[in-house]
């Protein structure tokens, strides 16, 4: 009888230890060395629309809305960028900063000069990112973004994730805005983001 009691106590101790380790691992996911949530995505060195080097530091200092698309996109990208430009203007009028970033999923066609023309039609305050295909592919993978070329020839399309990623001023993931999301709901998310 005494042996069975010791066995039960030992078994419960092992279960408690395993549960504690599992909780610790779960809560520790995505944390930086200081115990805070780490910045989203992976480090990168790419090129902005002005031909200058840009890194993940571009997502620090103010909240960001990051969209992955391409300049030859017939519908989703221009619609999303127009909406983000509008939100950026509304927030600026309210004294709130928002960093809008357009990352190409089509670096073969989306050169820095082409991106500069594309985003300046939205707002002079939008940042665009391009670079070598391998660098862009690594960034897409680090963000969990899907992109696939559809068709052949110079007029091919790209199938891609149509979600806008929201990051706080420390570059940490804070939510998303879905393509076609109700504008009122999207604006509420951005208002909340501006306080982070």
- Do residue 58 and residue 114 come from a single domain? yes
Is residue 37 assigned to a domain?
no
- Do residue 108 and residue 179 come from a single domain? yes
Annotated binding site: 73, 77, 160
Separation between Cα atoms, residue 71 and residue 102, nearest integer Å: 10
- Do residue 12 and residue 61 come from a single domain? no
- Do residue 145 and residue 182 come from a single domain? yes
Torsion of CA 116, 119, 124, 125, to 10 degrees: -110
- Do residue 72 and residue 26 come from a single domain? no
Work out how many domains the chain is built from and give that number. 2
Is residue 131 assigned to a domain?
yes
Is residue 10 assigned to a domain?
yes
- Do residue 124 and residue 91 come from a single domain? yes
> For residue 9, what are the domain limits?
1-30
Residue 131 CA: distances (Å) to CA of 37, 58, 138, 147, 191: 28, 15, 11, 15, 31
Q: What is the CATH number of the domain that holds 106?
A: 3.40.30.10
Torsion of CA 8, 10, 15, 20, to 10 degrees: 140
Annotated binding site for Cu cation: 73, 77, 160
- Do residue 94 and residue 158 come from a single domain? yes
- Do residue 14 and residue 87 come from a single domain? no
- Do residue 21 and residue 61 come from a single domain? no
Separation between Cα atoms, residue 103 and residue 167, nearest integer Å: 14
Token readout for 17 is 């230890």
Is residue 39 assigned to a domain?
no
Mean pLDDT by groups of 10 residues along the chain of 196 residues: 56 44 38 59 96 96 97 96 96 95 98 97 95 97 96 94 97 96 96 89
Is residue 15 assigned to a domain?
yes
Q: Supply the pLDDT for residue 9.
A: 54
- Do residue 49 and residue 1 come from a single domain? no
Q: Supply the pLDDT for residue 195.
A: 85
Closest CA to 60 of 177, 176, 172, 174: 172
Is residue 59 assigned to a domain?
yes
- Do residue 12 and residue 108 come from a single domain? no
- Do residue 112 and residue 146 come from a single domain? yes
Which pTM was predicted? Answer: 0.81
Is residue 36 assigned to a domain?
no
Strand, coil or helix: 80: helix
């Amino acid at each position: 009888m005494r042996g069975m009691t010791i066995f039960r106590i030992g078994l419960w101790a092992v279960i408690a230890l395993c549960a504690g380790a599992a909780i610790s691992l779960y809560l520790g996911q995505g944390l930086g060395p200081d115990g805070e949530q780490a910045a989203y995505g992976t480090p990168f060195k790419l090129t902005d629309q002005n031909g200058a080097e840009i890194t993940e530091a571009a997502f620090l200092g103010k909240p960001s809305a990051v969209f992955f698309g391409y300049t030859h996109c017939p519908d989703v990208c221009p619609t999303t960028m127009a909406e983000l430009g509008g939100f950026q203007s509304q927030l600026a009028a309210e004294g709130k900063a928002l960093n809008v970033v357009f990352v190409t999923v089509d670096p073969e066609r989306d050169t820095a000069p082409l991106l500069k023309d594309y985003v300046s039609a939205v707002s002079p305050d939008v940042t665009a990112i391009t670079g070598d295909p391998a660098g862009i592919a690594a960034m897409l993978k680090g963000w969990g973004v899907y992109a696939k070329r559809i068709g052949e020839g110079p007029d091919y399309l790209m199938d891609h994730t149509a979600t806008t990623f929201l990051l706080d001023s420390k570059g940490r993931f804070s939510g998303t805005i879905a393509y076609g999301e109700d504008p009122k709901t999207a604006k509420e998310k951005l208002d909340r983001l501006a306080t982070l």
